[in-house]
């Protein structure tokens, strides 16, 4: 279980029956005749897919009676709150880490506060400092998430920040978590409540809302040294009654042997629970109508950072890593262009460079190289009818001025997932997730083309 947990759920895709074979350096993919795939009844089939029925507000089950027998112990008669200040990783993996926190919270009858989001990260800090921020429910359908979390008996539903501020006990216990203990055993230490605790969270962070830190514990976990759940809970609360306190985790790495190392059951496959929010769906429909003429289209999704990480150790001696990556992506762009000529329909690009790109994009190429790569990709996908500025502006126009990277990524993800045909390069959990969504939404076969794989580097560059 832990191996899957760490890799954030890699997905296997099985090759379909051969009908027509495409040849070309960088890809080998079979596909049947291209047929228009009608959009779902809701205009964006993802919520009404064959494996994910459309949910309504009536499907939300938040009462304690809906929890499973495992969670219906004396602990569920309490109503306490857990605040995750900063979650490790982004979007899909952050949701996994949040689910682990929800599982722990349910063991003591507590509910987790819906996180604020900023550029794909789940964090409360930007909201506290700026007074405004998007929330988990702006990225994802929180009703769908709460429904599945509760009906599986895994945890309590997320609760709003407003409920937390109104109802949470004002005594705070702060739980600081670090991973990979240097002592090679899990250690627990009570720490001073008046110093900077972790991730910018201090004893004064929530004082404007009437909270006071009464206890702070430091857990330094090691993979080979687990704690029992009861022992973990006892160390957190000490002599405090859980009914009288609120718990804050300044850093939430998730719950597993390599993270918060307590004995738990494995996480369920939560990916189908991460459906797009109504806001994302509305903007996606508008984008299709405005820029894709409401017709079938081909989605292109490229993760350059994932590609660069894989290429780093394969750089030849006569080239620098940034130059090697740039050349590789230039050739990859040509491969995509050749493939697009064989597939009918409008084209749509989603890529992790540019204004809305991955924060790590600058670690593998210079600003000039990134700009040139983005220009090449936009020019290729849109047949030189758009430049990179027009491409980026299209998202700002559709969303009414939103520039949050995570929100734009969610919008792009839904658009790519709902494409009639999908071209991908790079891999990673985010891309695997949208591939899974795409396959759920279509009854057609052979609609995904994976290009620019690592095992084709020489053929790709020197063909």
Q: Encoding tokens for residue 42?
A: 């809701």
**Number of domains observed in the structure of the chain:** 2
Instruction: Note the pLDDT of residue 444.
Output: 79
Give the span between the Cα atoms of 352 and 132, in whole angstroms.
Answer: 25
296 and 169 in a common domain? no
DSSP H/E element including 162: helix 161-167
Question: Euclidean distance between the first and final Cα of the chain, in Å?
Answer: 41
Q: How many other CB atoms are there within 10 angstroms of residue 38's CB atom?
A: 9
Range from 49-53, 333-337, 371-375 carrying the lowest mean pLDDT: 49-53
* Average pLDDT of the residues in 84-97: 92
Residue 62 has pLDDT above 60, yes or no: no
| 225/330 same-domain check | no
Of 39-48, 141-150, 415-424, 438-447, least confident by mean pLDDT is: 39-48
Q: What is the pTM of this model?
A: 0.78
The alpha carbons of the chain give a radius of gyration, in whole angstroms, of 24
- Shared domain for 256 and 184, answered yes or no, is yes
Same domain membership, residue 318 and residue 170: no
CA angle 384, 389, 392 (to 5 degrees): 105
C-alpha–C-alpha distance, residues 224 and 240, integer Å: 29
Which CATH number does the domain housing residue 106 bear?
3.40.50
Residue finishing a domain among 273, 306, 331? 273
Predicted confidence at residue 30, as pLDDT, reads 29
pLDDT of residue 450 exceeding 50: yes
Per-residue model confidence (pLDDT) at position 449: 92
Assess whether pLDDT exceeds 90 at residue 182: no
Which is nearest to 281 in space by CA: 137, 381, 430? Answer: 137
How far is the C-alpha of 441 from the C-alpha of 444, rounded, in Å?
9
Helix (H, G, I), strand (E, B) or coil at 320: coil
Q: Which residue's structure tokens are 């004064």?
A: 204
Quick one: pLDDT band at residue 56, thresholds 50, 70, 90? Answer: very low
Rounded Cα distance, 267 and 1, in Å: 8
List the beta strands (DSSP E) in 366-425: 421-425
> Is the pLDDT higher at 1 or at 19?
1
Assign 456 a pLDDT band (cuts: 50, 70, 90): low
Widest Cα–Cα separation across the chain = 70
pLDDT on residue 298: 95
What is the full DSSP assignment across 186-217? -EEEE--TTS--BTTB-TTTTGGGT-EEEEEE
| 79 pLDDT above the threshold of 90 | no
Q: Which residue, 243, 273, 303, sits at the end of a domain?
A: 273
CA angle 10, 11, 14 (to 5 degrees): 150
Do 290 and 261 fall into the same domain?
no
For the cut 90, the answer to whether the pLDDT of residue 160 exceeds it is: yes
pLDDT at 250: 96
Among 20-24, 186-190, 211-215, the range scoring the smallest mean pLDDT is 20-24
What tens digit of pLDDT does each residue of 115-147 get? 999 988 999 988 988 877 899 999 999 999 999
Do 152 and 218 belong to one domain?
Answer: yes
φ and ψ of 30, to 5 deg: -110, 150
- Of the pLDDT bands very low, low, confident and very high (cuts 50, 70, 90), residue 157 is very high
Residue bearing tokens 């979650």: 87
CA angle 282, 287, 292 (to 5 degrees): 140
The pair of structure tokens assigned to 35 is: 């047929």
Average pLDDT on 429-454 reads 83
Kindly report, residue by residue over 250-272, the tens digit of the pLDDT: 999 999 888 999 987 788 888 88
> Does the pLDDT at position 12 exceed 80?
no
Pairwise pLDDT comparison (92 vs 74), residue with the higher score? 92
155 and 213 assigned to the same domain: yes
- Residue 245 confidence (pLDDT) above 90: yes
Q: What are phi and psi of 217, to 5 degrees?
A: -125, 140
CB atoms near residue 193 (< 10 Å): 16
Instruction: Specify whether 89 is located in the same domain as 221.
Output: yes
Mean pLDDT confidence for 81-100 = 93
What is the arithmetic mean of pLDDT over 366-385?
95
pLDDT tier, 4 (very low <50, low <70, confident <90, very high otherwise): very low
Let me know: does 350 contact 412? Beta carbons within 8 Å.
Answer: yes
Q: What is the CATH number of the domain that holds 11?
A: 3.40.50.11350
Residue 62 and residue 150: Cα distance in Å, rounded?
7
For residue 106, which of 143, 135, 68 has the smallest C-alpha distance? 68
Q: Is the pLDDT of residue 11 over 90?
A: no
pLDDT at residue 430, rounded to an integer: 79
Tens-digit pLDDT profile for residues 224-240: 899 999 999 999 999 99
Structure tokens that stand for 291 in this block: 């820029």
Average pLDDT score, the chain: 81
Residue 318 clears pLDDT 70, i.e. is over it: yes
- pLDDT score at 193: 86
What was the pLDDT predicted at 234?
A: 96
Name the residue range of residue 62's domain: 57-273
Where does the pLDDT of residue 455 fall: very low under 50, low under 70, confident under 90, or very high at 90 and above?
low
Q: Which helix (H) or strand (E) holds 172?
A: strand 171-178
Percent of the residues in the chain that have a pLDDT greater than 90, as a whole number:
57
Clarify whether residues 72 and 219 are in a common domain: yes
Same domain, 254 and 313: no
- pLDDT at 43 > cutoff 90: no
Structure tokens, 55: 């949910």
Closest C-alpha to 165, from 113, 99, 129, 243: 113
pLDDT value at 28 more than 70: no
Which residue in 225, 425, 442 sits closest to 325, CA to CA?
Answer: 425
Does one domain contain both 31 and 178?
no
Instruction: Check residue 441 and give its pLDDT.
Output: 78
From 250, 273, 296, give the residue that closes a domain.
Answer: 273
Encode pLDDT of 322-355 as tens digits: 999 999 999 999 999 999 999 989 999 999 999 9
Pairing of the two strands 80-84 and 110-112 = parallel
Question: Does residue 85 surpass a pLDDT of 80?
Answer: yes
433, 320: one domain: yes
């Amino acid at each position: 279980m832990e191996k899957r947990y760490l890799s954030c759920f890699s997905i296997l895709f099985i090759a379909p029956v051969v009908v027509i074979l495409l040849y070309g350096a960088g890809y080998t993919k079979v596909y049947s005749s291209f047929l228009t795939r009608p959009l779902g009844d809701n205009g964006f089939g993802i919520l009404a897919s064959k494996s994910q029925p459309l949910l309504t507000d009536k499907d939300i089950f938040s009462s304690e009676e809906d929890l499973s027998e495992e969670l219906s112990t004396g602990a569920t008669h309490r109503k306490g709150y857990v605040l995750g200040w900063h979650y490790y990783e982004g979007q899909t993996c952050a949701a996994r880490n949040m689910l682990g926190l929800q599982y722990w919270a349910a063991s003591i009858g507590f509910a987790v506060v819906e996180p604020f989001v900023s550029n794909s990260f789940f964090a409360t800090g930007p909201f506290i400092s700026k007074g405004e921020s998007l929330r988990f429910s702006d990225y994802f359908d929180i009703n769908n998430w709460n429904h599945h979390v509760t009906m599986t008996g895994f945890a309590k539903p997320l609760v709003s920040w407003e409920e937390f501020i109104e109802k949470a006990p004002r005594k705070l216990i702060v739980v600081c978590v670090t991973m990979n203990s240097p002592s090679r055993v899990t250690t627990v230490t009570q720490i001073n409540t008046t110093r900077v605790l972790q991730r910018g969270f201090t004893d004064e962070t929530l004082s404007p809302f009437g909270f006071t830190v009464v206890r702070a514990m430091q857990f330094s976990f090691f993979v080979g040294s687990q704690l029992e759940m009861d022992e973990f809970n006892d160390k957190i609360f000490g002599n405090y009654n859980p009914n009288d306190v609120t718990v804050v985790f300044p850093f939430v790495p998730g719950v597993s042997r390599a993270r918060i190392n307590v004995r738990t059951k494995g996480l369920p496959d939560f990916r189908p629970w991460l459906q797009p929010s109504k806001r994302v769906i509305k903007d996606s429909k508008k984008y299709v109508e405005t820029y894709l003429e409401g017709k079938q289209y081909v989605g292109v999704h490229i993760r350059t950072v994932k590609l660069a990480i894989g290429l780093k150790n394969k750089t030849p001696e006569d080239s620098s890593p940034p130059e090697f990556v740039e050349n590789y992506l230039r050739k990859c762009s040509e491969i995509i262009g050749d493939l697009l000529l064989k597939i009918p329909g409008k084209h749509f690009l989603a890529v992790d460079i540019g204004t809305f790109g991955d924060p790590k994009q600058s670690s593998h190429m210079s600003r000039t190289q990134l700009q040139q790569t983005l220009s090449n990709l936009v020019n290729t996908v849109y047949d030189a009818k758009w430049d990179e500025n027009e491409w980026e502006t299209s998202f700002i126009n559709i969303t009414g001025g939103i520039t949050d990277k995570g929100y734009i990524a969610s919008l792009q993800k839904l658009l790519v997932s709902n494409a009639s045909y999908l071209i991908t390069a790079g891999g990673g959990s985010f891309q695997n997730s949208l591939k899974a969504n795409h396959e759920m939404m279509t009854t057609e076969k052979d609609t995904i083309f994976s290009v620019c794989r690592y095992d084709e580097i020489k053929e790709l560059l020197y063909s």
